[in-house]
Structure 1
Amino acid sequence: MHGWLLDLYEHETDGLIIWVMMTDGQRLRLRCPFPLTFYAAGPTKRLHELGLWLKSQTPIPRLGRTERRDLFLPKPISLLSIEVENPAEQPRLFHQTSQAFPDLTYYDADVEIGLRFAAKTGAFATAYCAIEYEGDTLLNLRALDSPWDLDPQPCPLRVMELEPDSDPNHSEPVGINVKVDQHVYHLDLQPVRPMLINLAALLQKFDPDLLLTSWGDTWLLPRLIELSEKFSMPLPLNREATANVLRKASRTYFSYGQIIYRGEQVHLFGRVHIDRSNAMLYGDYGLEGVLEVGRVTGLPLQIASRVSPGTGISSMQILTALRTEVLVPWHKQQAEREKSGLDLLNSDQGGLVYQPIIGLHRDVGEIDFVSMYPSIMVRCNISPECTPIGLSDPQPDEPGLIPQTLAPLLKKRIALKHRLVETPPWDPRLKLDKARSLAHKWLLVTCFGYLGYKNARFGRIESHEAVTSNGREALLRGKEAAEDCGFNILQMYVDGLWVQKPGATSPRDYDDLLDQISQRTGLSIALDGIYRWVAFLPARRDKRMPVPNRYFGVFQDGTIKIRGIEARRHDTPHFISDAQMEALRWLAQAPSVDELPQYMPGALELLRRRLHALRDGQVPLDQLVLGQRLSRELDLYVTPSPAARAAMQLREIGKNLGPGQKVRFLLVRTEAGVHAWDLPSRPDPRSIDRAAYRVLFLRAVRTLLQPFGIQPEEVADILNNAATQPPLDLRVHVDTTIPLTMMSSDGRVFSKQTGHRITNTEKMENAHEFSHIYC
């Protein structure tokens, strides 16, 4: 028969259990014989002692001798293989083994069961499969589609949505909303017994495959389980009748300079539970993106929805290793090789950045390499076990593990991007393809960082350095191609160029440039768009200093792009970000730079109304909420930040927040200076610190108006006085002569006209001329 794989997990007595959604509507629970093997390496004597010890265990595993490949070693190594019949027994046995013999090296010991199943059968969550079974035993399963198919067989998931009727962090919910088959049911939490009876009836009637919840991990399902146990009224949350719901504790960890908090998790058996509030990046790509992550990583859906993109790309690498019989190390053994200080200076560099020319520019083309770093890894065969090559070197016959992992994902993303360009707005595939492409983007973005992550199983810092080296070379080749084609370089940032050429105002004017860059680098390049105008912004503290990733602009089709400004930041109150975007959308109506002065009075009037609403107390409190994350435990703050002071207020009523958690608060005129938004009581609207919000508002307005010649010190007077209409000094950089420069491999900058080196002193003394140069 045919069906879709929904879920799989280990069972204490039945081994591996899989749930399949059959084409005839059945939901089958099948037992699958699936022995697991892990390996131990070390001195022959110790392996012999381990074998004797394992024979005394219950049940006795099957032992053998074999040879396999460790990616970091030149030759296959001799191993003791340890096979466990019931996969549920393998974690316990491995834990005991590693405790008894900690001096041995272990492989394939802690691999997620879903990855093992995907490696052996080719099946993954929502895969369409041919299935042979007898009774409740699976005899054979074969995937009929691939994770790389652009249009896979649609999966008939039955979805039930559950959510409390209010944010439980903000106020205690009084009911639950249940949505299924376009019907919405409201269940009051009190009295409890009727609520539990009705919810159980809905679960039994509709028998959903997927529970899609809001705050399901951190509040809703734990509360329902608590009430169910208290009143001795079982809820059929699981399809696996004998299994208890799996609860994983919350955790906090440090990643890429940030403290990350992951809330408690609730996993079901036989059904899939996804919490929109706790799923990673759900707000970016939604349920379709989560399903796509499950397809390409091989992870079960409940895990795929909650792991970071780094864990996702690591899982894909492990899946490639299993399929090619490469050993998966339990702990990474390799350290960075010794380097001299000079070696570090030459090799340990990041992406290339040319600082932008501050100000307003018209008719600017933004050109981006398509997934530059992943493309470099594939093209240059960059993998821990390979000697990396350059952009122009001949391609190797045997791709390494990392290129094997990335190549199909990269190919699929490029195919989706090409299809998105051709898909009309009314096509139902448009939303789906956007979500899937965005899921691919996050995986591909993190694969580069994970290559240099110290704990990555297949990471190596030298490979990481090889990627950035080739990336810098590709960007310089792109710069030279642009200059040879007559374009001026306004900015370069790691994998993108902002270029300008008089008369280059349509996409076909960039065709020759794109072809030249693609030929010189061997990488895919695309025109992201042509700006009617774009403004590159200076640093707040020194208006002479540019900031590479802080700008806003309007494409020819009216689309707005912003980076680094207040409306882009997650800690900005909605009132301020909405005001900034409203004014920007008004200015975006100008057909060209020349018409901008005609639209400026309207933008100023919009901003005045917003400021007057703040002054008159007409802004709803929820529009003034700020959100910031705690960076440490509350008791470790020497001078508590506003977020820490708000968290201390919540701690007093029993709501404890830790590092990485977001705290929402209002600025008020009290001794504490803040009022936590999630306190039961609301502050008196008259206590709102309007002066503090006015400062934040004016800062956002200055960001917006500065490129149009309005000085920061003039902004407050202009907004306070409706009669004041400033003369706009639109210093648009159209025909600006930009010094043509070249850079050597060690980062030194030279003038192409004179050939002499441009010193740091010259850069500082002539910042207006050299502001675009590498920094």
Structure 2
Amino acid sequence: MTYEGWLLDLYADGPRGVALWLVTDDDRRVRLCQRFPVRFFAAGPGPRLRALWRWLRGREPAPGLAREERRDLFVAERLPVLAVETADPAGLQPLFAEVEREFPDLTYYDADVPLTVRHAAAFGSFPLARCRAEADEQGNVRAFEVLDSPWALDPALPPLRILEINLPEGDPQRTPPTRLELRFRAWKQSYPWVAGSAPAAWLRAALQKLDPDIVLTDYGDTWLLPELLRRGQAPLSRDPAYPLRTVEEHTYFSYGQIVYRGQQVHLYGRVHIDRQNAMLWRDYGLEGILENARVTALPIQTAARISPGTGISCMQMQTALRDGVLVPWHKQQVEQPRSMLSLIQSDFGGLVYQPRIGLHFEVGAIDFVSLYPAVMVRCNISPETQARPLSQPPAPNPGLIPRTLAPLLHKRVALKTWAAKLPAWDPRRKSIRARTAAQKWLLVVCFGYLGYKNARFGRIEAHEAVTAGGREALLRAKEAAEDLGFAVLHLYVDGLWVQQAGCRTAEDFEPLLAEVTRRTGLPIALDGVYRWVAFLPSRGNRRVPVGNRYFGVFTDGSLKVRGLDARRRDTPPWVTAVQMGLLECLAQAVSPEDLKPAAAEALGRLRRELARLREGKVPLEDLLCAQKLSRPLEKYTHPSPAARAAGQLQAAGKRTAAGQRVRFLYVRGEERVWAWDLPQTFDRRCLDVGMYRKLALRAAADVFQPFGIEPEELYALMHNAARVPLFPLPV
């Protein structure tokens, strides 16, 4: 029997191999089974490999064993290895754990490659791939073929059934729910949730009748699904042989920050995504998650929860497996000792040209499209290659890293080009924006991963070569701009802000874009033309510019904000709204002459917001701060506000972990904070209104400073409404 459709899920199915769930063309959900033996490799001295051979031959059942020669990316000669094969994909990890425990002195490869990545390397498969499978009457696959590519710009997607299970009251840790809300397409229904009772038959009936492919929840990982299972809910998975899989919560350190990931609940045969626990849901939603899964070959519910670094690592593994390159179990390469002079000469990082502080009119912002990945592809930068100069054409035989990145980079550029040609009303623009956002995160982290201490295919010299190429590209762009008569106001790693009298439209900057592309060979685009843009100084020293603190208004009236309080995740929503509201007032100014009345209107808006705060009209939810715990509570010697709030939660029997965000309000009194998730009712009279006023004025000061109002004058204006500012605006 032949099936055509889309691959929804793939997972280990015991000795039978892997289970494949297809959404067929006739809208059926079909479970097939495919034999798929998997292998890992061991390398080391001959006597130790022979000892491992004998040890494995004595096991029951004995795995398949073979002597082979394979390529290690960091070794010039092909490496003799012992291949260990098992017909049970799920049994590979337990077997490897025993082998590594008995023979810790050997070097291992391909030991922890995700199953879907192995399948992708062997068959070209990926989530939602269009495919054809031939199977017998028992559902055993005899032939499997993928009919499309993860690099397709406009792929045909299956008619997925999406069921939402919502908690209308919000966080169940804060407010115990009284009802659940189910949404399926246009259908919506609310059902009671009675504490202590088993769930009603309606939920089981909904799952059986609707048979969803994707279950979207809020707090499903950390509360809802575990609670449903505790109450005796029927299995949520589509596959009755596998109820679900849980991944324990964990905390880890990454890029100088402590990160907490909550418990995960994965289903079989259907997908569960917890919007509160998904890694970047707010950035790109479901469309971005599906794109992430397609290009990384990770299961959809895994792609929703992992970091972009894990995604790019899986893409590199897939390239290595296809090329017959061994994937190290642990990184084997370490940075070699170097002199201080060598470090000074090579480790410069990205180029930053300090901006001209103040307000500037009619400014073009030009960005390289994914500069560092583009440099890696153009200059053939990979751990096993010698970097080529930017002026040379691309290498005929690219390394592993450029081969991995090139299709992703080209797809992103093509999607952005396509989106730019679509009319503003076209609904595909939103989808493309989400997909390119997911691609952007993968491309952003690929550079850092080259220098990451645990990256399988990382090398610090390659990392440094990328920044050198980026600096050269930006300098060439600067020279091109100056040769064409533009004044360069600012350079920042992958972009530049330029100004020239008479250049007001996108067409006026086309000659510059063409010249930069000719001189660098890298894709570059116009981010936009500003009516005006303000570059801000440091708060500590107003004479010192800060490279990434600015705001401005494009000619279409849209705002761009970087480095302000509104961009911080720990800023209370009300303070964010105040700052953005002031900027929206200023954005109404079309010409420099309009800025003075716009600034006066913004001042009036700020006064009204401060009056709302003083009168108690700002909802408490809008005053919440959410700060991350940087360490376990017992490690704090001088507790931060978040640590004090976490201590209150701990005293109330609610556990917190390092990396978690703790919500709190600023209050008067010795504690100075009140944890939002405490069971007690908050008395609004305890609120520290002065602290919130201070936060709002600090955020507003950044907005008004380029317009001639210094922070001290702003504070005085808010205390004395009769004073009228002069607005000494630059012309």
* Match runs of 1:413-492 below 5 Å: 413-492=412-491
| TM-score under structure 2 length normalisation | 0.98
Q: Alpha-carbon deviations, 1:349-388, whole Å to 9, x = none?
A: 2100011111111111111111100000000000011011
Residues 185-584 of structure 1: matches in 2 within 5 Å? 185-190=189-194, 195-228=199-232, 234-584=233-583
| Contact 1:200/1:235, CA 8 A, preserved across alignment | yes
Match of 2:54 among 52, 55, 64: 52
Report the counterpart of residue 153 of structure 2 in structure 1: 150
Structure 1 residues 488, 719: CA separation in 2 closer, same or farther (over 3 Å shift)?
A: same
Q: Which runs of 5+ in 1 are unaligned?
A: 229-233, 733-775
Within the candidate set 29, 32, 56, 2:31 is matched to: 29
Q: 1:6 aligns with which of 1, 5, 8?
A: 8
- Structure 2 residue matching 1:577: 3-state secondary structure: helix
Cα pair 2:490 2:496 within 8 Å, conserved: yes
The question of 1:170 aligning with 2:174 is answered yes
Give secondary structure in 2 for the equivalent of 1:475: helix
Q: Does 1:181 align with 2:181?
A: no
Question: Per-residue CA shift, 1:515-570, capped at 9, x if unaligned?
Answer: 22111111111111111111111111111111110011101110100001111111
Counting only pairs closer than 5 Å after superposition, residues 57-96 of structure 1 correspond to structure 2 as: 57-96=59-98
Partners in 1 of 2:185 and 2:564 — Cα distance?
Answer: 42
C-alpha contact (below 8 Å) 1:22/1:28 kept by paired residues:
yes
Mapping of 1:14-25 within 5 angstroms?
14-25=16-27
Q: One-letter code of the match for 1:450? A: Y
> Is contact 2:377-2:402 (8 Å) kept?
yes
Asked if the contact 1:196/1:235 (under 8 Å) is kept, the reply is no
Cα 1:95–1:475 shift into 2, 3 Å: same
Task: Please identify, of 721-730 and 672-681, the stretch whose mean Cα deviation from structure 2 is larger.
Answer: 721-730
Task: Give 1:194 deviation, angstroms.
Answer: 6.3
- Structure 1 Cα separation of the partners of residues 686 and 186 of structure 2: 44
Deviation at 1:681, TM superposition (A): 2.3
Counterpart in 2 of 1:766? none
Alpha-carbon distance in structure 2 between the residues aligned to 1:431 and 1:337: 47
**Per the alignment, in what secondary structure is the counterpart of residue 655 of structure 2?**
coil
Q: 1:475, CA displacement in angstroms?
A: 0.8
Q: Residues of 2 paired with 1:617 and 1:465: CA distance?
A: 54
The answer on 1:138 being equivalent to 2:138 is no
Aligned partner of 1:693 in structure 2 is 692
Give the secondary structure class of the aligned counterpart of 2:231.
Answer: helix
Distance 1:92 1:469 in 2: 44
The Cα of 1:649 is off from its aligned counterpart by 0.8
Q: Structure 1 CA distance, aligned partners of 2:176 and 2:525?
A: 50
Deviation per CA, 1:696-742, whole angstroms, max 9, x where unpaired? Answer: 1111111111100012111122223333221111124xxxxxxxxxx
Question: Quick one: which amino acid aligns to residue 76 of structure 2?
Answer: P
Alignment partners' CA distance in 2, 1:14 and 1:426: 50
Contact 1:642-1:674 at 8 Å conserved across structures: yes
**How much has 1:594 moved relative to structure 2?**
2.2
Give yes or no for the alignment of 1:40 onto 2:42: yes
Change (3 A) 1:502 1:181: closer
| Paired residue secondary structure (1:530) | strand
1:603 aligns with 2:614: no
SS at match of 1:361: strand
* Partner Cα separation in structure 2 for residue 536 and residue 394 of structure 1: 37
Residues 1:113 and 2:115 are matched in the alignment: yes
> Which SS does the other structure have where 1:299 is aligned?
coil
Q: Residues of 1 paired with 2:563 and 2:131: CA distance? A: 46
In structure 2, C-alpha distance between the alignment counterparts of 1:543 and 1:731, rounded to whole Å: 17
SS at match of 2:446: helix
What value does the CA root-mean-square deviation take over the aligned residues? 1.2
- Segment of structure 1 superposing worse, 311-320 or 192-201: 192-201
The 1:508/1:181 distance shift into structure 2, 3 A limit, reads: closer
Indicate the residue corresponding to 1:717 in structure 2: 716
SS state at 1:328 partner: coil
Unaligned ranges ≥5, structure 2? none
The answer (yes or no) to whether the contact 1:163–1:216 under 8 Å persists in 2 is no
Q: Would you say the 8 A contact 1:145–1:153 is kept in 2? A: no
Q: Is the 8 A contact 1:163 1:220 kept in 2?
A: no
The one-letter amino acid of 2:218's match is: S
Report what 1:736 is aligned to.
Answer: none
The offset of 1:333, in angstroms, is: 0.7
- Equivalent residue number for residue 104 of structure 2: 102
Structure 1 outlier segments of 4+, above 6 Å: none
Q: Does 1:641 align with 2:640?
A: yes
The 8 Å contact of residues 203 and 236 in structure 1, kept in 2 or not, is answered as: no
Q: State how far apart, in whole Å, the 2-side matches of 1:205 and 1:726 are.
A: 66
Query: How far has the Cα of 1:690 moved from its partner?
Result: 0.9
- DSSP-derived class of the 2:65 partner: strand
Distance 1:405 1:271 in 2: 29
3-state secondary structure, aligned to 2:199? helix
Cα distance, 1:192 vs structure 2 = 5.9
SS of the residue 1:686 aligns to: helix
Distance (whole Å) between structure 2 residues aligned to residue 662 and residue 59 of structure 1: 48
Could you list the per-position Cα deviations for residues 440-485 of structure 1 after superposition, in whole angstroms to 9, with x for gaps in the alignment? 0000001000111011001111100000011111111111111111
- Over 3 Å counting, the alpha-carbon distance change for 1:585 and 1:252 in structure 2 is same
Task: Give the 3-state SS of the residue equivalent to 1:715 in structure 2.
Answer: helix
Kindly provide the amino acid, as one letter, of the partner of residue 478 in structure 2. Answer: K
Does the CA contact (< 8 Å) of 2:377 and 2:394 recur in 1? no
TM-fit CA distance, 1:13: 4.6
598-607 vs 532-541, which deviates more? 598-607
Q: Which amino acid aligns with 1:169?
A: Q
Shift of 1:191: 6.5
C-alpha contact (below 8 Å) 1:188/1:195 kept by paired residues? no
CA distance in 1, matches of 2:647, 2:530: 47
C-alpha distance in structure 2 between counterparts of 1:580 and 1:252, whole Å: 33
Taking the aligned partners of 2:558 and 2:591, their CA distance within structure 1 comes to 13
User: How many residues are paired up?
Assistant: 727
Question: What secondary structure, in the 3-state scheme, does the structure 1 residue paired with 2:258 have?
Answer: strand
Alignment check: 8 A CA contact 2:273 2:304 kept: yes
Structure 1 position 604, deviation (Å): 0.9
Classify the secondary structure of the residue corresponding to 1:195.
coil
Which amino acid counterpart does residue 594 of structure 1 have in structure 2?
E
Corresponding residue for 2:625?
Answer: 626
Cα deviation per residue 1:677-698 (whole Å; 9 max; x = unaligned)?
A: 1112232212111111111111
Q: How much does 1:303 deviate?
A: 1.0
